[in-house]
Amino acid sequence: VLAAWAGLGYSRRARSLLAAARAAAGQGGLPSTEPELRALPGIGPYTAGAIASIAFGQREAAIDGNVERVMSRLRGSSDDPTRPAIRRAIRADILDLQPAERPGDFNQALMELGATVCSPRAPACGRCPWRDPCRARALSIQEDLPNKPKKKPPVPESGVAGILRVDGRVLLARREAGARLGGLWEPPRAPIQGDDDPMVALERAFIEQIGVPVRVGARLGKVVHIFTHRKLTLEVFEVEPRGACEPAPARGYDGAMLVTPGRAPAVSKLARKVLALAKIAP
């Protein structure tokens, strides 16, 4: 599953998808109600509501960002829609509006209205089917809603990665299960803290985490990757083994091997960027 998902990011979703499929198979199939769906790995309120209503015709709300915006505006409410009490009120309003027939179509139409008409900036109120009942429009406050707390900027982090080539192959290591990007392969990397010298940190990482002493060579450049809450800047260097390359992965990695370009196993999106900098096809 990770190999098929490789490069799409959010690898946790691939793991959850597999776990949910296994759990559903163990129960004799995918359940049809929102509470049962929510009990499956990786399925939150939005996905549970979407599956229950769209796949099984259940009267349930499916509140994504678009729906949250439309409903905040329709209600003319400047309350933070991410607060549980406001969320419940939005859900209750949706269920009031939702017809008994084809609730899934109603939910999809609501999402589509948010995606195409009730856009974050400059909503096209003139061609909106809800322009009459919309309270935000009546009060001319539609562009001020929804009133959500500002997202925190991603936390900056620094790191260093090394490209080690032997006879046309490149060394990739597998992040250990449970770690961020666990199960995915990448050129070895290490975090840099404070005034750490990146080249020293990289040499140390190759010894301690890969079991291969290296000499750090040319700097290839920099890769910036945004995770959900973090912004990682990686310095990338060529490295050369100081002897035979016999990897013994440890501390964060549970596999390491020399890979022929174009035949890499599941690599992360971050790893693809690092390899691209070294002009190596994953």
Residues that bind ligand SF4 (CB under 6 A): 70, 73-74, 117-118, 123, 125, 128, 130-131, 134, 136-137, 142
State which residue, 30 or 115, has the beta carbon closest to ligand SF4. Answer: 115
Q: Please provide the distance, in angstroms rounded to a whole number, between the alpha carbons at the two ends of the chain.
A: 17
State which residue, 131 or 273, has the beta carbon closest to ligand SF4. Answer: 131
The tokens describing 239, both together, are 């490295």
State which residue, 135 or 231, has the beta carbon closest to ligand SF4. Answer: 135
Q: Find the shortest distance in angstroms from Cβ 124 to ligand SF4.
A: 6
**CA atoms of 197 and 35, how far apart (whole Å):** 51
Burial class (CB in 10 A: 0-12, 13-18, 19+), 130: middle
**CA atoms of 235 and 253, how far apart (whole Å):** 19
Task: Name the one residue in this structure whose structure tokens are 């589509």.
Answer: 112
State which residue, 117 or 199, has the beta carbon closest to ligand SF4. Answer: 117
Residues 6+ apart with CB under 8 A from 31: 24, 37, 39, 40
Q: Find the shortest distance in angstroms from Cβ 146 to ligand SF4.
A: 11
State which residue, 21 or 117, has the beta carbon closest to ligand SF4. Answer: 117
User: Helix 65-75 vs helix 84-97: angle between axes, to the nearest 10 degrees?
Assistant: 80
State which residue, 51 or 74, has the beta carbon closest to ligand SF4. Answer: 74
Q: Find the shortest distance in angstroms from Cβ 38 to ligand SF4.
A: 28
Residue by residue, DSSP assigns 68-113 as HHHHHHHHT--S-TTSHHHHHHHHHHHHHHS-SS-HHHHHHHHHHH
Identify the bridge partners of residue 172 per DSSP, sorted by sequence position.
257
Q: Find the shortest distance in angstroms from Cβ 112 to ligand SF4.
A: 12
Report CA Rg, the chain. 25
Q: Find the shortest distance in angstroms from Cβ 260 to ligand SF4.
A: 54
State which residue, 125 or 258, has the beta carbon closest to ligand SF4. Answer: 125
State which residue, 137 or 189, has the beta carbon closest to ligand SF4. Answer: 137
Q: Find the shortest distance in angstroms from Cβ 152 to ligand SF4.
A: 27
Q: Find the shortest distance in angstroms from Cβ 131 to ligand SF4.
A: 4
Q: Find the shortest distance in angstroms from Cβ 53 to ligand SF4.
A: 20
Question: Before 156, cis peptide (omega within 30)?
Answer: no
Task: Name the one residue in this structure whose structure tokens are 């035979």.
Answer: 244
Decide the pairing of beta strands 189-192 and 185-186: unpaired
